[in-house]
Structure 1
Amino acid sequence: MPTVFQVSPYSFIFFSSDRGEAAQIHVKRDRQLTKFCLNPVFIDKNRDLKEHELSQIRL
């Protein structure tokens, strides 16, 4: 899973196995992971990131 960029403590990554799905980016912190679809931007899945963290990431 290549890292697109890092904004401490968050890694923005993609999975090559996501082929055939809409454009998306995954945000990871420790063992927590959220998947954002990019067009339009919305949270597709969230695994344990808190709402205040999601608000920061969306900015």
Structure 2
Amino acid sequence: MYELIHKCQSFLKDERGLSAVEYVVAGSLIIVLLVAGFTTLGTTVDGKLSFLNGKVE
């Protein structure tokens, strides 16, 4: 029983996995920013293409 408690305490004190969590958080933020940027860009391009389509017709 003592060995199990010791292993759990060692696992909780180990910070090696923390860097993986930081990479996941950073990657998630990058993805959110890219989605927001492409959404804004898509709306702008759609508006410009609609404007040009109206001028051509």
Bin the TM-score by the shorter chain: under 0.3
Q: TM-score, normalised to structure 2's length?
A: 0.18
Larger radius of gyration, structure 1 or 2?
2
Q: Identify which of structures 1 and 2 has the higher relative contact order when contacts are C-alpha pairs closer than 8 Å and 6+ apart.
A: 1
Higher strand share: 1
